[in-house]
Amino acid sequence: MASRRATRALQSSFKQLSAPTVQRRTFVSAINAAKAGAAAAPRAAVTVPFQQKRGVKTIDFAGQKEKVFEREDWPREKLLDYFKDDTLALIGYGSQGHGQGLNLRDNGLNVIIGVRKNGASWKEAQQDGWIPGTNLFDIDEAISKSTIVMNLLSDAAQSETWPAIKPQLTKGKTLYFSHGFSPVFKDLTKVDVPKDIDVILVAPKGSGRTVRSLFREGRGINSSIAVFQDVTGKAEEKAIALGVAVGSGYLYKTTFEKEVFSDLYGERGCLMGGIHGMFLAQYEVLRERGHSPSEAFNETVEEATQSLYPLIGANGMDYMYAACSTTARRGAIDWSKRFKDNLKPLFEELYESVATGKETQRSLEFNSRPDYREAYEKEMADIQGLEIWRAGKAVRGLRPENQK
Ligand SMILES: NC(=O)c1ccc[n+]([C@@H]2O[C@H](COP(=O)([O-])OP(=O)(O)OC[C@H]3O[C@@H](n4cnc5c(N)ncnc54)[C@H](OP(=O)(O)O)[C@@H]3O)[C@@H](O)[C@H]2O)c1
């Protein structure tokens, strides 16, 4: 979430730099301004006091200055020249492997895929046009041909395969991750990187499918970049260039540790686990108080995802408040404080669980089991079977685009 907010702030900043005289502040002020023919107040939260040279922009995000790199500084010709002597071996072809791999290929870089022969990924890679013996190999062969090893196996598999992969990471190669998980929690994962190679990270802030779709739209996903080990003195530059090559639009500098802590925390919190828990709690109370499934679902999920959350995404929380009734605003402002106060201890507990490695331990244990796919599918079937999501299916079925 933070990164999306940051993007918006960044985009606002660039707009401010490149001209804008007026920006819409809120839904209501925009309407009022339009009515009155007057200009709405500009956004106050984001200010750009100065502009640095291209390539190293320091942007003021609500009072804190951060470094941001952008795609425009790495046009295709520059990328091709920069990586002209490199072979990029992308190991693993899940969601990120698919998105990053196809973007690298479309950018014209020398990229090959390494996956288990005849596994699900092997077949998927072939379906995407990767050719066995040409640019599709088993993992060991791909690594042996490469200068840059992009480890996009599942995090559990990175740990499992490390004893076989580590000896192949010889001096001169670069090791790339899209998550800080393996090296940061090395006491648990056993991924202790060789001391004589560059180790870098590009972590797209979204699914691999979005990495691909935004690239195809000519935009680019936000990604975090970080350096774990810089042997050549070029590690950061390489991370930025690779970030652009895999399809990022803006790149935000962080550390491996901060990336993995915030990512594990966010997905367990507001992004996935927390929001699912809030939906369930609200729905259950409505049902226990006699409301129908459709009313409970509409008031909990449908209005959120279809009406209000997109407003937050487009222009911020104040914009969403401004689009709602005075009654709704009063109650929401009051109750948001109570929710925050009650939930903050839980978020503290969650962060602690991430920082101490408890979440990593659980993830490694669960996802390394031979039957992890079946166990996961059973949990998904349980979720699908919950009344709230069955009611949701019926509500979505009424949308015009879902009617035959
Ligand atoms: N998905 C996201 O939204 C996202 C976003 C940002 C960063 N990341 C990071 O990107 C990395 C890749 O994640 P992902 O979601 O793309 O992939 P994933 O679904 O977690 O992993 C899939 C790949 O791992 C391979 N694999 C699993 N077990 C293996 C084993 N024992 N030996 C060899 N290969 C094995 C699979 O091959 P088979 O088909 O042969 O089983 C498949 O190619 C992770 O570090 C993740 O944290 C993911």
Per residue of the chain (404 residues), what is the pLDDT tens digit?
Answer: 333 333 344 344 333 333 333 233 333 343 343 334 333 333 333 333 333 344 567 888 888 888 899 998 899 999 999 999 999 999 999 999 999 999 999 999 999 999 999 889 999 999 999 999 999 999 999 999 999 999 999 999 999 999 999 999 999 999 999 999 999 999 999 999 999 999 999 999 999 999 999 999 998 999 999 999 999 999 999 999 999 999 999 999 999 999 999 999 999 999 999 999 999 999 999 999 999 999 999 999 999 999 999 999 999 999 999 999 999 999 999 999 999 999 999 999 999 999 999 999 999 999 888 898 899 999 999 999 999 999 999 999 999 889 86
139 three-state secondary structure = helix
**Taking the CB of residue 163, how many other CB atoms lie within 10 A of it?**
9
Both tokens of residue 161?
């395969």
Find how far residue 303's CA is from the centre of its chain.
24
Q: Is 113 helix (H, G, I), strand (E, B) or coil?
A: strand
Residues in the chain: 404
CA distance 331 to 94: 44
Nearest residue to 319 (alpha-carbon basis) of 6, 2, 8, 3: 8
Strand partners, 90: 113, 150
- Does residue 157 line the site of ligand 1, with CB under 6 A? yes
Inter-residue long-range contacts of 158-163, CB under 8 Å, 24+ positions, other chains counted: 158/182, 158/189, 158/191, 159/188, 159/189, 159/190, 159/191, 159/364, 159/368, 160/368, 162/189, 162/190, 162/191, 163/190
Residue 303, annotated ligand binder? yes
Looking at residue 38, what is its pLDDT?
A: 33
Pairing of strands 64-70, 57-61: antiparallel
Helix axes 256-268, 273-288, angle to 10 degrees: 10
Structural contact between residues 201 and 260, judged by C-beta atoms closer than 8 angstroms = no
Query: Residues with catalytic annotation?
Result: 179
- Note the pLDDT of residue 24: 34
Residues with Cβ within 8 Å of residue 48, at least 6 apart in sequence: 13, 16, 17, 59, 60
Specify whether the CB–CB gap between 201 and 224 falls below 8 A: yes
- Residues 6 or more apart in contact with residue 16 via CB below 8 angstroms: 23, 42, 46, 48
Choose which residue among 139, 154, 261, 268 to substitute to test ligand 1 binding: the one with the highest number of ligand atoms within 8 A of its C-beta: 154
Report the separation in Å between the CA atom of 177 and the middle of ligand 1, taken as the mean of its atom positions.
Answer: 11
At residue 112, the pLDDT reads 98
Could you tell me which residues come within 8 angstroms of residue 57 by beta carbon, excluding any fewer than 6 positions away? 51, 67, 68, 69, 70
Strands 88-91 and 148-151: parallel
Residue located via tokens 């079946």 = 374
Ligand 1 pocket member 178 (CB < 6 A): yes
The one-letter code for the residue type at 76 is R
Rounded to the nearest angstrom, the distance between the alpha carbon of 176 and the centre of ligand 1 is: 14
Q: Whose CA is nearest to atom 31 of ligand 1?
A: 157
Distances in Å between the alpha carbon of 120 and those of 92, 151, 315?
11, 17, 41
The DSSP line for 173-204 is -EEEESSSHHHHTHHHH-----TTSEEEEEEE
CA of 263 to the centre of ligand 1 (A): 16
Answer whether 188's CB lies under 8 Å from 360's CB: yes
Q: d(Cα 23, Cα 27) in Å, to the nearest integer?
A: 11
Separation CA 262–CA 185 (nearest Å): 14
Closest listed residue to residue 271, CA positions, set 347, 211, 170, 326 = 347
Task: Give the separation between CA 71 and CA 195, rounded to whole angstroms.
Answer: 30
CA end-to-end span of the chain, whole Å?
35
Cβ(92) to ligand 1 under 6 A? yes
**pLDDT score at 48:** 36
What is the pTM (predicted TM-score) of this model? 0.84
> Model confidence over 9-36: pLDDT tens digits?
434 433 333 333 323 333 334 334 333 4
Q: How far apart are alpha carbons 268 and 365 in whole angstroms?
A: 17
Q: How remote is the CA of residue 307 from the centroid of ligand 1, in Å?
A: 34
Strand order in the sheet with 64-70: 57-61, 64-70, 248-253, 221-229, 198-204, 174-177, 148-151, 88-91, 111-114, 136-137
Distance, CA of 288 to CA of 74 (rounded, Å)? 57
- pLDDT per position as a tens digit, 269-312: 999 999 999 999 999 999 999 999 999 999 999 999 999 999 99
Burial of 351 (0-12, 13-18, 19+ CB in 10 A): middle
What span, in angstroms and rounded, lies between the C-alpha atoms of 328 and 317? 13
